């Protein structure tokens, strides 16, 4: 089986629980270290699927590798190679497919509930029993839903938390989190948290850490379900 390509844009924002999921199922994967200058592959047919992780940059930044990733996403969709995006990765997908990336009304940092919008497409991804779940958030921008895609998730402070287009899934929220990732983000981003505590969607560091033992196992369970659904379309 061809490997899943995972695109990393910052060392601290690696594949997290997604890598755990693939490894447990003996699905081969390759980390493309864009943050270290590794070239963006041009042919999606080299891989069984493409996964784009988060990062502190904007999808609207004039960086050469961003344009290359957007082109790769479009090529993958055209070739029916499944694409999965987390936060910035989801914003890349939206922009590549004809949507827009803009500033969100407020920053979202910490734990927050997202609602599943009921419908045939959302039922395929989440099942009929999941109506909402507590996810992790760390973003200041948001995406619009590109033409032909279906909005799957929303939250009180960010209308568009996920969309699907055939086998492709874009997430604004972070379902890939691990304890190590959360600790690392807090260590490097505590100043950003303090500066934005006026936002109704930003939690103090103590609350983020305090809720982690209760929230994270359930989030990983949800991630497992989504990853399982997405992986069914991997190109063998």
At 131-161, the pLDDT tens digits run 999 999 999 999 999 999 999 999 999 999 9
Token pair, residue 224, equals: 């497992």
pLDDT at 129: 86
- Residue 52's φ and ψ, nearest 5 degrees, are -115, 125
pLDDT at 136: 98
| Structure letter (DSSP) for residue 53 | -
Q: Rounded to whole angstroms, what are the CA distances from 141 to 19, 20, 217?
A: 25, 27, 26
Q: Which domains does the chain have, with CATH numbers?
A: 4-231 (3.40.50.880)
Token pair, residue 110, equals: 């910490």
pLDDT at 219: 98
Four-point Cα dihedral 193, 195, 197, 199, nearest 10 = -100
pLDDT at 236: 84
Residues (pLDDT < 50) of the chain are none
Beta-strand relationship, 49-52 and 83-86: parallel
The sign one gets for the Cα dihedral 21, 26, 32, 36 is positive
Is the separation of the CB atoms in 176 and 226 below 8 Å?
no
Question: Beta strands of 73-100 (E only): which ranges?
Answer: 83-86
pLDDT at 128: 87
Q: Rounded to whole angstroms, what are the CA distances from 108 to 51, 54, 62, 193?
A: 22, 14, 24, 10
pLDDT at 169: 98
Burial of 209 (0-12, 13-18, 19+ CB in 10 A): middle
Q: Rounded to whole angstroms, what are the CA distances from 60 to 90, 102, 137, 187?
A: 13, 9, 20, 26
């Amino acid at each position: 089986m061809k490997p899943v390509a995972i695109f990393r844009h910052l060392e601290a924002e690696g594949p997290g629980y997604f890598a755990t999921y693939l490894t447990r199922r003996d699905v081969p994967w390759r980390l493309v270290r864009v943050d270290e200058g590794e070239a963006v592959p041009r042919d999606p047919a080299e891989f069984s699927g493409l996964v784009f992780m988060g990062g502190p940059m904007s999808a609207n930044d004039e960086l050469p590798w961003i344009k290359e990733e957007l082109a790769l996403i479009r090529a993958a969709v055209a070739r029916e190679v499944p694409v999965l995006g987390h936060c910035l990765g989801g914003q890349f997908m939206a922009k590549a497919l004809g949507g827009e990336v803009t500033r969100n009304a407020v920053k979202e940092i910490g734990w927050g509930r997202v609602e599943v919008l009921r419908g045939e497409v959302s039922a395929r991804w989440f099942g009929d029993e999941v109506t909402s779940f507590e996810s992790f958030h760390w973003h200041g921008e948001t995406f619009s839903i590109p033409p032909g895609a279906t909005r799957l998730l929303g939250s009180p402070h960010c209308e568009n938390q996920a969309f699907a287009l055939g086998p492709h899934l874009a997430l604004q929220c972070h379902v890939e989190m691990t304890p190590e990732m959360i600790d690392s983000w807090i260590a490097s981003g505590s100043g950003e948290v303090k500066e934005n505590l006026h936002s109704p969607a930003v939690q103090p560091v103590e609350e983020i850490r305090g809720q982690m033992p209760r929230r994270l196992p359930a989030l990983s369970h949800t991630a497992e379900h989504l990853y399982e659904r997405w992986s069914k379309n991997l190109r063998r």
